[in-house]
Structure 1
Amino acid sequence: MSTLFIADIHLCEDEPTITAGFLRFLRCRAIFARSLYILGDLFKLWIGDDDPNPLHYEIAIALKKLTQRGIPCYFIHGNRDFLLGKRYADFCGMILLPSQSIIKLDGLNIIVLHGDILCTDDKHYQRCRRWTHQHWVQKLFLFMPLKFRLFIANKIRANSHYANTNNIVDIMDVNPQTVIAIMDTTHTTLMIHGHTHRPAIHNLLKQRYRVVLGSWKNQGSAIELSNNKVILHEFPFSF
């Protein structure tokens, strides 16, 4: 059996085609996997586990059906859904993992992460990330009324989109030295991440590899690990 990795699905009510494609992926592909790792940005926006969005419930039920069949589902927070909490994860049957997690599969030492911490050349983003990941900031935000949280989140997202359109493209990609430093520190030979939306398998020095997931914008993207082989899949939503 194979292990599947996905990221950057960016589910939202405005993209029913992506939602249908993701639900089909769970029913037709993930059901045959040994386990599923979701490496962040499952949702386009997350303002708290208490948000009564019907889409959140629909996805939770689908994930719960998967995990109830004995297929573990692991989740690492992304930059869009870092507030997804234990309450929602427990309802889905998902296991929350630290932002950088080392796993051992098929004899390989693998580090899995969303990928945003690798983009160290984007100084502005890294400063914002450090601020929003402070516990007291998150606690204060979640204490606010839902409507106010949604207003703030949309404002931040709009500002982020404007900043990204004016950024140099390479600044928003990973820093190679940061990648090597993390792999050296963690003694891993394979890194799997998303965030940059640049699907590829990169052959690094010393028989090490960095594998990047694509975003689910126009098609699905998944990494399959089986018998020491890493395969990057891209497929239509209506496969």
Structure 2
Amino acid sequence: MTTSVSSQTAQPTVALFVSDLHLQASLPATTAAFLAFLQTHAVHSRQLYLLGDIFEYWAGDDDLVTPYNRQVADALKAVQAQGVELFWMAGNRDFLVGEAFAAAAGLSLLPDPHVITEAGRTITLAHGDAQCTDDVAYMAFRAQVRQPAYQQQFLSMPLAQRKAIIEGMRKTSQQSNQDKSMEIMDVNADAIDALFAQTGATTLIHGHTHRPALHRLDGGRLRYVLPDWEYDVAAPRGGWISLTGDGQLHRFDAAGMEIG
């Protein structure tokens, strides 16, 4: 069952949550959808949380010289200029976003995981890749590339070289993922339990898996999974989650219709 955005309760929108847009210049419809989302929805919220993989990849903050990247940063800055607080959590594709991009886009960088309390509700936020512990090869790769020494060495390379390396990694990842089951690439139940225990919250919002859903777990715990965005296809997909002033969470699809 879906309802239109306009039928949502009159409660003010406290926060919006999105992830996995995988923005890139080769996907103009997806880019246009995100820019429209910012001006149609984000500007009417108090806060916007970007929970990882907003870009298909990020080679370093010096890539702000690329017009497309600057366009996205400027669009985010325009939302912040209208009084919206913006928050960014690294994904597995854009974990090299740093303080220069944060300043250009008018946002604050968050650790993963991060706990917020808004509208009387405590929510754990995560990208979700750290909980995919069944994918042993990916977890080893993640541990390597998240090391400060590794990142410092990588960022010391010329930008063009970094982009070439990333492109090679993307192709390798696509090939290896074809041989992995969806279960292996999904979050691990024990890892999710550990995250709930670590943070003490009973609500979790994450992305990464591209398997949008609301999972009702034991003990009244709720796990919301954000959708990935892809509007450059015949059947567009995307969406977001909103938190309203009454503490309720609402899920929306690619067409901006509320999912009941």
Report TM bin, short chain.
over 0.9
Maintained 8 Å contact 1:23/1:62:
yes
Give the total of aligned pairs.
Answer: 237
Maintained 8 Å contact 1:7/1:215:
yes
Q: How many angstroms does 1:234 deviate by?
A: 0.6
Q: 1:1-239 counterparts in 2 under 5 A? A: 1-2=12-13, 3-51=15-63, 52-217=65-230, 218-226=236-244, 227-236=246-255
Q: Which amino acid is the alignment partner of residue 124 of structure 2?
A: I
Q: How many angstroms does 1:235 deviate by?
A: 2.3
Q: How many angstroms does 1:28 deviate by?
A: 0.5
Runs (5+) with no aligned partner, structure 1: none
Which TM-score applies when normalising by structure 2?
0.89
Maintained 8 Å contact 1:102/1:110:
yes
Maintained 8 Å contact 1:120/1:175:
yes
SS in 2 for 1:149: helix
Moved segments of 4+, more than 6 Å? none
For residues 32-59 of structure 1, what are the alpha-carbon distances to aligned partners after superposition, in whole Å with 9 as ceiling and x for unaligned?
A: 1121000001100110110121111111
Give percent identity, aligned residues only: 40
For residues 102-156 of structure 1, what are the alpha-carbon distances to aligned partners after superposition, in whole Å with 9 as ceiling and x for unaligned?
A: 1101222211010000100000000000000000110000000111101110011
Q: Which amino acid is the alignment partner of residue 248 of structure 2?
A: K
Which TM-score applies when normalising by structure 1?
0.97
Runs (5+) with no aligned partner, structure 2: 1-11, 231-235
Q: What RMSD in Å do the two structures reach over aligned CA positions?
A: 1.0
Whole-angstrom CA distance in 1 between matches of 2:180 and 2:27: 26
SS in 2 for 1:188: coil
